[in-house]
Amino acid sequence: MELGPELFALLNARQWVGSQIPVIYGVPGLSSDEIASIEAQLGFRLPDDFAYLFQNLQDPGRVFFPWSQFDKREYDESMQWVLHGIEFDIEKNHLWLERWRKRPGTLPAALDIARKDFQTWPKLLPIYGHRFLAAEPCHSGNPVFSIMQTDIIYYGADLADYLLHEFVDRDYAPHTQAQKIRRIEVWSDFAEG
């Protein structure tokens, strides 16, 4: 199923968001000017499918990351949360990636290497809780990742797949395994082990 009226109707009819006020799909959301403002603040473009989704929904219960009241500090905090999880695994679980070469002898030096490299990784867009869409490459059809420290898995082959399985049938694994998923540098390395 693709993003659009059919999926929006299904989500409106069957979405499960617990005790939160449901998202209203298929109604005017962010304007083109608001999307452009978010992109200017982020310093990179939003994939077309992501922009389309948030231009076609209203989220009165704040189920999703609050893109309609975008605050760059809140976005940065979300990315810092991801980085802190990676730092935790470096310190407590002895994580070290081959791309970082030889691990230095001190924790501060190791963390410095990881922090600098993290800035070069493909950007992420927070969606819901610890679910993130890969923003790079800037194409429709990027996967959604569930990120808890470096326990990173695919949670949707693309946005439509993610929405369906997160909010309607809640059985993501069989579906994402059956679909071809675009590889995203670094993030897919974690997801694929």
pLDDT of residue 169: 83
What is the rounded average pLDDT for all residues in the chain?
94
Q: Is the pLDDT of residue 140 over 70?
A: yes
pLDDT of residue 180: 87
β-strand partners of 76: none
Q: Can you count the helices (H) and strands (E) in the chain?
A: 8, 6
Q: Is the pLDDT of residue 174 over 60?
A: no
Phi–psi pair at 57, nearest 5 degrees: -155, 155
Q: Residue 55: which of 34, 33, 29, 32 has the closest Cα? A: 29
Average pLDDT over residues 166-179: 67
- Within a 13 Å sphere around the CA of 119, how many CA atoms are in the beta-carbon half? 5
Q: What are the sequence ranges of the domains in the chain? A: 5-191
